[in-house]
Amino acid sequence: MTRLTAVLGAGVALLFAASLLTGPAEIGVGDSLSALLLGGDTPAAMVMREIRLPRALLALMIGGSLGLAGAAMQGYLRNSLADPGLIGVSGSAALGAVLSIQTGVAGAVAFSLPAFALGGALIGVFAVLALAGPRGTSLTLILAGIAISALAGALTSLVLNLSPNPFAANEIVFWMMGSLADRSMVHVGIAIPFIAIGAFMLARLARGLDALTLGEDAAAAMGISLRSLRLTLVFGTAAVVGASTAVAGAIGFVGLVVPHILRPFVGARPGALLWASALGGAIMLLAADIAVRLILPERDLKLGVLTAIVGAPLFLHLIYRTRREGL
């Protein structure tokens, strides 16, 4: 476990540094670091501090959030198909974010953008959990997720098409696929409080999720309140996914792929999987965000494209396995 943490931590640190060194402005490694650390009034300092640093920080925070939320949902639902993107939570968060921007609230009230996204995410999680039921099968969970995703996606498109801004309609793809291009420290600032609170709530689920593997009765006998576990899960997930989606759009599959890969390394303990998945999610998103800049440096290739190319085959594999096991 500690070795896994060390390996994942080293991976995060390495990719974080690589992300800071990736970009069209060709600044040498030494110059980059001195510009980043010493600042000053040079163009290089502006590139490092105002463009690359927020981008790397957001990849770290958002990847971590999505990995953590995926691990928590899978642990709670005891279902390895649960991913915030797949079950419509990210889509609902995007709808909330788009509503706050297009109604002008986002420009007028501080933190209303992540708050609206959190509201959307909350509605999405509640709707999916209510539709799928507390012990929902994979089938009902995925169907509920498809329905919520489709509805949220359609309403997001509708709001953007009704916008008086001619550019808004072209941004449907950003809200559906996600991107970290040209974000700034302002975005880091609005996302960080929500992500910190949400991650704290989800981290506290570790003991409860471990107990839940023994069954609900056993967990209740161990003094775990299922009601409070569920509420913590819902609010924690909505907070991290809402804030992430508000600044970067909906990025799918991170919460599906990462817990799946890391589960064998933590002895299938959902509690231990939480932090491992947070680190793993950060690795996956940092890597994806470096890749989009290397593959098409001057176009804004969406992150969700890469995460889906990696994640969707795994999803198909999981569905196949689920079918073999007879749902």
Q: Is the dihedral of CA 35, 36, 37, 41 positive or negative?
A: positive
| Among 38-46, 210-218, 301-309, 318-326, the segment contacting other proteins (CB under 8 A) | 38-46
| Among 19-27, 71-79, 144-152, 206-214, the segment contacting other proteins (CB under 8 A) | 19-27
30 counts as binding other proteins under rule CB under 8 A: no
168 counts as binding other proteins under rule CB under 8 A: yes
Residues 6+ apart with CB under 8 A from 285: 59, 60, 62, 63, 66, 251, 254, 303, 307
| Among 22-30, 75-83, 131-139, 214-222, the segment contacting other proteins (CB under 8 A) | 22-30
**Closer residue to other proteins, CB minimum distance, 76 or 175:** 175
- Name the minimum Å distance from CB 49 to other proteins: 9
164 counts as binding other proteins under rule CB under 8 A: yes
Tokens 């001057």 locate to 298
155 counts as binding other proteins under rule CB under 8 A: no
| Among positions 9, 14, 18, 50, the unique one binding other proteins when judged by CB under 8 A | 50
Residues 6+ apart with CB under 8 A from 143: 131
- Helical packing angle, 185-203 and 226-248, nearest 10°: 160
- Name the minimum Å distance from CB 306 to other proteins: 19
Choose among 128, 126, 120: nearest CA to 145: 128
Which token pair is 273?
């999987």
| Among positions 9, 28, 39, 43, the unique one binding other proteins when judged by CB under 8 A | 43
106 counts as binding other proteins under rule CB under 8 A: yes
Q: Within 13 Å of residue 269, how many CA atoms lie on the same side as its CB?
A: 14
Residues 6+ apart with CB under 8 A from 253: 83, 85, 86, 304, 307, 308, 310, 311, 312, 314, 315
Considering only residues 169-228, where is the footprint of other proteins by CB under 8 A?
A: 170-171, 174, 182, 184-186
**Closer residue to other proteins, CB minimum distance, 81 or 292:** 292
40 counts as binding other proteins under rule CB under 8 A: no
Longest dimension (CA), the chain: 63
**Closer residue to other proteins, CB minimum distance, 51 or 139:** 51
> Hey, is 82 helix, strand or coil?
coil
Pair 295, 21: CB distance under 8 Å: no
9 counts as binding other proteins under rule CB under 8 A: no
Q: Using CA atoms, how far apart are residues 95 and 22, in angstroms rounded to an integer?
A: 31
326 counts as binding other proteins under rule CB under 8 A: no
| Among positions 2, 3, 24, 223, the unique one binding other proteins when judged by CB under 8 A | 24
| Among positions 7, 44, 147, 192, the unique one binding other proteins when judged by CB under 8 A | 44
101 counts as binding other proteins under rule CB under 8 A: yes
Considering only residues 259-298, where is the footprint of other proteins by CB under 8 A?
A: 297-298
The number of residues in the chain equals 327
Binding site for other proteins (CB under 8 A): 23-25, 43-44, 46-47, 50-52, 101-102, 104, 106-107, 163-168, 170-171, 174, 182, 184-186, 297-300
